[in-house]
Amino acid sequence: METHGKLSRRRLLVRSGMVVGGAAVVAGAGLPVAYHLHHREVGPAYAARKQTAKGTLTDAEYIIQCGTLAASPHNTQPWKFSIDGARILVFADRARHLGAADPERRMMLSGVGCAIENMAVAAEALGHRLAVDALHADERFERDGLCATVRLVPGAAGATPLFFPALFERQTTRLPFSGGGGAIEALRQAFARQPLFPGVEVAYAVSAADHAGVDQINLDAVQGFVTDRAQYDAGMEWYRITRAEWEQAGDGIAIFTSDAPWFIKTAVELFVTPDDLDGPDFIQGEIDHVARVSAATPLWGLIYGTQPTNTTRLLAGRVLERFYLEATRLGFALHPLNYAVERPAEAARLRTRFGLKATDEPLVLFRAGRAAERLGNSVRRPLQTVIL
């Protein structure tokens, strides 16, 4: 009986066009009440984001915790760490994968790189330098996931830790962006000043034709992705329907960090069932979302590798995270949109569009600009679950 009541209310919402996709906007999106603003982000899932000082943790523990605040594909947090004196071993947790949505685990490796970048920033804030003694991802990723050995060099910090406050503010902003007048060119120049790593390069879409071209590539990529059952279902494994489920898991993605209006968030929380996730409303919602945000993008960048190695994929993550932090620090927002990168036909079109060589490997397509609001924050797992 209960189920019936729930289903019919849900169907009603679906029919009236209210339950749409993972991140949809429908008429009324401008309503002033933002659901996420009413949610106090309390509890263990948000604790790391609020801990802006070391407290009772050791330096290594705190640096790792700051690492866990990094971006990762679908918030899989595919990392684990082992502390050995002043050394920290950084592993990919290969069980935390995106299946067919990340068949070569490139995004997983970039996620681990994002965590290492945050660790370098946190180490500096504690007065250390994070020396990367070895990158092992090419020999060890398949075997035991070991990606890097890093070491805290006390008292060896370089510049003022400019990026540290941004660790706690950074978020993936899935909203339409504006260019902020001429400011977007200043952001691109700020990105260009960030250090790169051997084998990692960045290209930008410049002309209006390039922007239109990227829009079309994204649209084709998301349409291909959602109709590829293996890819779509693998992504949805990490989708959490209710906030309670999401906070309990401490990982994955949910509608609460999307640009959907509060009543859609509420409707999803109350009425959506796991079966709906691969239904037409969610699928169309995701296509609409990609079309909408893609079209409202003043700056497109493509982080790519000049050699197809695991180490390059990991280092691309360091660059991505640094760009997130730099954008945050300067009051901009950033959003990777990687459907095209993981669809071979569209990845080839990205190469052409961004002027890459046939041997270059697109790794992260991202959009940046000014956002009109701040979204809710994503959840994290507790520190003890990631330290071996």
Ligand X SMILES: Cc1cc2nc3c(=O)[nH]c(=O)nc-3n(C[C@H](O)[C@H](O)[C@H](O)COP(=O)(O)O)c2cc1C
Q: What are the residues binding ligand X (CB under 6 A)?
A: 71-75, 107, 110-111, 114, 171-172, 174, 253, 257, 320, 335-339, 364, 378
Smallest separation, CB 388 to ligand X (Å):
22
Measured from the CB atom, the residue of 125 and 320 that comes closer to ligand X is 320
Measured distance CA(364)–CA(366) in Å, rounded: 6
- Smallest gap from Cβ 319 to ligand X, in A, equals 11
- Measured at CB, which residue is nearest to ligand X? 71
The Cα–Cα gap between 323 and 337 comes to 14
CA distances from 370 to 187, 290, 301 (A): 10, 17, 15
Nearer to ligand X by C-beta: 271 or 323? Answer: 323
- Long-range contacts at 238-243 (CB < 8 A, ≥ 24 apart): 238/74, 238/75, 238/76, 238/98, 239/22, 239/277, 241/268, 241/269, 241/272, 241/273, 241/274, 241/277, 242/269, 243/39, 243/269
Structure tokens at 43: 């509890």
Cα(375)–Cα(257) distance, rounded to whole angstroms? 6
Beta strands in 31-145 (DSSP E): 79-84, 87-92, 128-135
Closest separation in Å from C-beta 364 to ligand X: 5
- Closest distance of CB 387 from ligand X, Å: 20
Task: Provide the minimum distance between the beta carbon of 119 and ligand X in the complex, in angstroms, as a whole number.
Answer: 15
Beta-bridge partner residues of 146: 91
Angle at 229 between CA 226 and CA 232, to 5 degrees: 50
**145 in helix, strand or coil?**
coil
Q: Which is nearer to ligand X, 63 or 72 (CB)?
A: 72
Q: Per the structure block, which two tokens stand in for 267?
A: 């409707």
Q: How far is the CB of 18 from ligand X (least distance, A)?
A: 22
Q: At what angle do helices 106-125 and 59-67 cross, to 10 degrees?
A: 140
Closest distance between ligand X and the C-beta of residue 342, in Å?
Answer: 8
Nearer to ligand X, 13 or 346 (CB): 346
Complex with ligand X: residue 128 or 172, whichever CB lies closer: 172
Nearer to ligand X, 123 or 171 (CB): 171
DSSP string spanning 50-64?
H--S-TTS-HHHHHH
Q: Which is nearer to ligand X, 81 or 366 (CB)?
A: 366
